[in-house]
Amino acid sequence: MKKIISNILMSVDCTNNDAVEYALNNSKIDKSIITSAKVVKRSVDARRGDINLVYAVEIEYLPVEKEKNEFTFGTKKLKGDIVIVGAGPAGLFCAYTLTKNGYKCVLAERGQSVYERVKSVDSFYKSGNLNINSNVQFGEGGAGTFSDGKLTTRVGDARSKIVLETFVENGAKEDILYAQKPHIGTDMLKDIVANMRKEIIKNGGVVLFDTTVSDVVIKNNQVYSVITNRGEIPAEKVILAIGHSARDTYSMLYKKGIAMEAKAFAMGYRIEHKREFIDYSQYGKYAGHKNLGSADYRLTYNGKDRSCFSFCMCPGGYVVAAASENGGITVNGMSENSRNGENSNSAIVAQITPNDYEGVLGGIELQRKYESLAYGATNSFVAPIQNTEDFINGKVSKKLNGVVPSYPLGYEFADLGKLMPAEAVKTLREGLKSFDRKIKNFTTCSVLTGVETRTSAPLRILRNELMESINVCGLMPIGEGAGYAGGIMSAAIDGIKAAERIMSVYDRN
């Protein structure tokens, strides 16, 4: 049996063992029947001008009841392959779940394996020569591999535990099982992703890299096969885990009449501060304490017409060049596991709705427009930047204010106000002024790098309760690219759900 002791308030100097000991001494459970005790959650309470750690400890004790597996596998025979398009979190966890349970599948990824992908990204940073199929957006692990590796989600799904445990099984630190805001870091994610792929192959799956799907063959409203640069792959189920930047795939699906709709997303810039500045603003005299790590923040502003908010905050991280097309600049943020970089960064973005553009694919064209303008501001992949205070005042900066941008391909001063829709710029300026009231000197001690456009998919591929396209049987759009997730955790959960849906109908092939 299990019991969780929650809201254990400890000083900032305490350890996990101290919290466990406290729980054991105050649980009112006979110690002779306790079999184990572990921290299942740890958070930081920075309210009331003091810093404390808040723990939850799970105590397991006799008699232990085994959890019943109520999942029922299907009996229908598969006539063709299960083909998964895209090896980001959704596709990777879908393949991992299927093969772990005895199902064969083909995982096709347009980009390279993760270590080769790292080489291509490094080469781009040094030379400016972009590999359009293998970059920060495309390749094994998806866009999340070059991120902070955040494992938070607002999706209240029990599969979250499965995702975290799978990461630990494949090399992540166990603290992600109990941290309030777990993260892995891009340096560790690479190895974890590679380990998951090895497990998929060991369990009978096929993984194809440098394999771009150019068409989906449909016969009698049923998916029949996929066409790739390696040839045709027959398929009874095609899982579309394409990611939010697969613009050519979106276009192909739209032309084939696959049901989809425009959706809201967000665009803006990356803001960078000195890491020590953010740490002190959040933790005060406790900044730098070994039990706290680098601080984060979450800021929101609701304007008259649209909202502005911080997104994908990367403590002690770096701004990365996230372009997947030549002639356009888009940026993102990432952190390594240690989060000890000189700067901390976050996206500061404003809401973009279907009212801001025309047509289902109009959001993509809007993204492209401002990515192209950002590229044109420097006539290269060198990023346009502006001190935050100057951006608010509409003034082109002439010198840095002490924060050196971490963007890897260099930077030039520009008017970022011209590189976003006017309505969004207005809200961004209002929002930044609001954030400056919440974190003192937020705007005076920071620099903006443009532009951030790929916050989420600009459209949704419509699906039914069976997770299949509403007008094509066997076609299963999943994850962030299909418009049903927003980050590593929710995308991975969607991938597991898709695998479970298949397993509940079909017998092992």
SS (H, E, C) 57-113: EEEEECCCCCCCCCCCCCCECCCCEEEEECCCHHHHHHHHHHHHCCCCCEEECCCCC
Mean pLDDT on 441-454: 97
| pLDDT at residue 313, rounded to an integer | 95
Mean pLDDT on 480-489: 94
Mean pLDDT on 362-373: 98
| pLDDT at residue 26, rounded to an integer | 79
Residue 402 pLDDT class (50, 70, 90 cuts): very high
Q: How many CA atoms lie within 13 A of 216 on its CB side?
A: 32
Distance of CA 207 to the CA centre of its chain: 22
Give backbone dihedrals phi and psi of 105, rounded to 5 degrees, phi first.
-160, 160
Lowest mean pLDDT among 41-50, 140-149, 320-329, 331-340: 41-50
pLDDT at 303 over 70: yes
| pLDDT at residue 64, rounded to an integer | 45
Bridge-based pairing state of the strands 106-108 and 81-85 = parallel
Residue 437 pLDDT class (50, 70, 90 cuts): very high
| pLDDT at residue 79, rounded to an integer | 87
Distance CA 187, CA 203 (A): 26
pLDDT at 129 over 50: yes
- Structural domains of the chain, with CATH: 2-61 (3.30.70.2700), 81-260+460-505 (3.50.50.60), 264-452 (no CATH)
> What are 34's strand-pairing partners?
61
Lowest mean pLDDT among 153-167, 257-271, 347-361: 153-167
Mean pLDDT on 80-104: 97
pLDDT at 192 over 60: yes
| pLDDT at residue 22, rounded to an integer | 80
pLDDT at 276 over 90: yes
For 29-58, how does the pLDDT look when each residue is reduced to its tens digit (9 = 90+)?
776 677 788 998 888 887 756 788 898 888
Lowest mean pLDDT among 10-19, 117-126, 265-274: 10-19
Is 73 buried (19+), middle (13-18) or exposed (0-12) by CB count in 10 A? middle
- State what percent of residues in the chain have pLDDT above 90: 78
Q: Among candidates 367, 335, 102, which has minimal Cα distance to 246?
A: 367
Q: Average per-residue pLDDT in the chain?
A: 93
